[in-house]
Amino acid sequence: MVRYSVLDRSFAALSDPTRRQLLERLANGPATMSELAQPFEITLPGLMKHVRILEEAHLVITEKHGRTRQCRLGAEHLDDAAHWIQTYQRRWERRLDRLGDFLTKQQKGARR
Amino acid sequence: MVRYSVLDRSFAALSDPTRRQLLERLANGPATMSELAQPFEITLPGLMKHVRILEEAHLVITEKHGRTRQCRLGAEHLDDAAHWIQTYQRRWERRLDRLGDFLTKQQKGARR
């Protein structure tokens, strides 16, 4: 059996447009399953499948309140995904800056 | 046929640990296919499959130089992925701030 890291699960969960829309909705506040389903042309089992994938990635937390299930954003692991991207972006930007400096020096040298 | 958006492809590409490691390597500078393969216990066809997925997500750009293929980071679409996450993170953080304010006010009210 393959073991998936939280980062694998987070990015895989974010790769689906319906799941991203569910997170966009939950960024405005918690919602019950039926409130979540409303704007989508989706069956309840279809929605539950998406919510389960988001839950497994810790991007969504669900809690049973009586007969309804409340969903809210689990923002912590969204941080992990953002952090991963930012680390490599910054490293890349520093490289581009160094390349820029190098090219500027080369140009100055060529003008002499 | 399902049409995938760049964001779908970006997040799907990032969901694999080998592909993330390839991007981490390329954040330090461009590399040929065989330089990329070196630290991984991976066959060349296996590597090429991963690179193709990264290329389709515009996260990696490859260029043929004579008999070798040079790979470099296509950071632009990493920006898109980071931007999507940050938008919903910020919205969520603002909500948490408002909730904090509300709870502080409630506590003050209870003390009176």
Name which of A7, A11, A18, A23 to mutate to probe chain B: the one with the most chain B Cβ atoms within 10 A of its Cβ: A11
The two structure tokens encoding residue A75: 């923002």
Residue-wise pLDDT for A10-47, tens only, equals 889 999 999 999 988 888 889 999 999 988 888 889 99
pLDDT at A55: 93
- Reduced to 3 states (helix: H, G, I; strand: E, B; else coil), residue B47 is helix
pLDDT at B112: 62
* Cβ-count burial B46-61 (b if 16+ within 10 Å, e if not): ebbebbebbbebbbbb
Q: Which stretch of A2-6, A52-56, B19-23, B26-30 has the lowest confidence by average pLDDT?
A: A2-6
Q: In this structure, what are the phi and psi dihedrals at residue A12, rounded to the nearest 5 degrees? A: -65, -40
Residue-wise pLDDT for A65-85, tens only, equals 898 999 998 866 677 777 777
CA distance A37 to chain B (A): 19
pLDDT at A107: 65
More confident residue, B17 or B94: B17
C-alpha to C-alpha distance for A53 and A63, rounded to whole angstroms: 15
pLDDT at B12: 93
Residue A1 confidence class, pLDDT cut points 50, 70, 90: very low
Average pLDDT (A89-109) is 67
The residue among B78, B96, B88, B100 whose CA lies nearest residue B22 is B78
Q: Which stretch of A25-29, A49-53, B31-35 has the lowest confidence by average pLDDT?
A: A25-29
C-alpha to C-alpha distance for A57 and A24, rounded to whole angstroms: 16
**Which residues of chain A lie closer than 8 angstroms to B56, CB-CB?**
none
pLDDT at B28: 83
Which residues of chain B are at the A interface, by a Cβ-Cβ cutoff of 8 Å?
A: 5, 7-12, 14-17, 20, 23-24, 27-29, 73, 75, 78-79, 81-82, 84-86, 88-89, 91-93, 95-96
pLDDT at A64: 92
Residue A52 confidence class, pLDDT cut points 50, 70, 90: very high
pLDDT at B1 over 50: no
Dihedral sign for Cα A99, A100, A101, A102, please: positive
C-alpha to C-alpha distance for B64 and B108, rounded to whole angstroms: 67
Average pLDDT (A48-65) is 93
C-alpha to C-alpha distance for B86 and A52, rounded to whole angstroms: 23
**Which residues of chain A lie closer than 8 angstroms to B80, CB-CB?**
none
